[in-house]
């Protein structure tokens, strides 16, 4: 069994780290807010006082944090995990960050005589809990092969997509489709609601229809209930679309739907919904349409 370190115990990191404990690994964790470690510690993990200590105690060091600046905050500095690396260890970042942010971490990890696997994920908290995430990985192939058994404890679908930061771009591209799908569903749902149809039936029919992709299925209940607790927040989705639109600018790809959906997420944030699930786009459109449930 492997000595695994885990940094970042948010909505995703918490269930993912617990799955590694369940798989029998020796897991050491750190999170900025220590109380969020209660569950994984109760499951059998141990606590480290800093990201540096995590890297000193583990051979595989996972990070699953909010964004690029946070990844840099836990990687660099006196207490960052890179200060705790020794040659031969493997770092794996599963957060959604930009290529530029990732390159900077990779350079520092390699300078410490180690390798970095980029392993962003598709799927939400429900799939994190059931260990059925999709994992898009890139980086050194021989290193990936060593990490694969750990990935198999976290996800059902494994994709190795290249030797460097390819997984970062693919992850952002997929999230543009996920976000625009939620905007499309918002438009369909509010249209039907105003025409007098039942929201629960509408989301059920959409989920079972030709356009009923995974995301329509996972979000059907929260749209029906209209409560929107964050599985994936508006704030994080805005971050991802901003990163995707930067890539689009770099390669000269006009991304119309993504740009419009980004604006509607801004409307969600500006009306106090930044910490809600991004499926709250339906509620934003209900307001804009003068519709109250
Ligand atoms: P989250 O619940 O907001 O958790 C964010 C994590 O980052 C927490 O551990 C948080 O620590 C930490 N963090 C934030 N700012 C920090 C700082 N300044 N210093 C140190 N730690 C900091 O996010 P999540 O939903 O788990 O998402 C994690 C990553 O996975 C993101 O990159 C996201 O885009 C990606 N992702 C999410 C989903 C999803 O459905 N949620 C799906 C696919 C990919 P605290 O606990 O102390 O706040």
Residues with Cβ < 8 Å from 21, sequence gap 6 or more? 27, 40, 43, 44, 45
- The values of phi and psi at residue 259, to 5°, are -65, -45
CA of 247 to the centre of ligand 1 (A): 22
Question: Which domains, ranges and CATH numbers included, belong to the chain?
Answer: 3-163 (3.40.50.720), 169-288 (1.10.1040.10)
173 CB-side CA count, 13 A: 12
pLDDT for res 152: 98
| β 155-162/115-118 pair status | unpaired
Whether 121 shows a pLDDT value over 90: the answer reads: yes
199 CB neighbour count, 10 Å cutoff:
19
More confident call, 151 vs 123:
151
Q: Provide the whole-model pTM.
A: 0.95
Whole-angstrom distance, CA of residue 116 vs CA of residue 102:
9
- Our CA angle for 266, 272, 273, nearest 5°, is 70
CA of 10 to the centre of ligand 1 (A): 5
pLDDT for res 124: 86
Q: Which of 234, 228, 237, 261 lies closest to 96, judged by CA?
A: 237
> Which residue has its alpha carbon closest to ligand 1 atom 30?
95
236 touches ligand 1 (CB under 6 Å): yes
pLDDT cut 90: percent of the chain above it: 99
pLDDT for res 218: 93
């Amino acid at each position: 069994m492997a000595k695994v370190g885990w940094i970042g115990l948010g909505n995703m990191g918490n269930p993912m780290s617990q799955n590694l404990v369940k798989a029998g690994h020796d897991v050491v964790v750190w999170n900025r807010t220590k109380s969020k470690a209660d569950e994984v510690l109760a499951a059998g993990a141990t606590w480290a006082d800093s990201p540096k200590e995590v890297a000193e105690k583990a051979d595989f060091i996972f990070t699953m944090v909010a964004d690029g600046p946070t990844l840099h905050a836990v990687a660099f500095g006196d207490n960052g995990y890179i200060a705790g690396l020794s040659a031969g260890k493997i770092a794996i970042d599963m957060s959604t960050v930009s290529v530029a942010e990732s390159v900077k971490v990779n350079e520092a990890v390699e300078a410490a005589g180690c390798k970095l696997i980029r392993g962003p994920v598709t799927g939400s908290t429900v799939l994190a809990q059931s260990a059925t995430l999709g994992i898009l990985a890139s980086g050194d192939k021989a290193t990936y092969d060593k990490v694969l058994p750990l990935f198999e404890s976290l996800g059902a679908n494994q994709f190795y997509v290249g030797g460097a930061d390819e997984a970062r771009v693919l992850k952002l591209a997929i999230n543009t489709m996920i976000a625009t799908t939620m905007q499309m569903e918002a438009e369909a749902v509010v249209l039907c609601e105003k025409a007098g149809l039942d929201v629960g039936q509408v989301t059920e029919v959409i989920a079972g229809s030709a356009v009923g992709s995974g995301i329509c299925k996972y979000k059907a209940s929260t749209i029906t209930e209209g409560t929107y607790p964050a599985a994936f927040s508006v704030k994080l989705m805005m971050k991802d679309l901003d990163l995707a639109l930067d890539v689009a600018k770099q390669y000269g790809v006009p991304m119309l739907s993504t740009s419009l959906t980004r604006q509607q997420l801004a409307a969600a944030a500006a009306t106090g919904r930044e910490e809600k699930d991004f499926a709250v786009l339906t509620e934003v459109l209900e307001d804009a349409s003068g519709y109250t449930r």
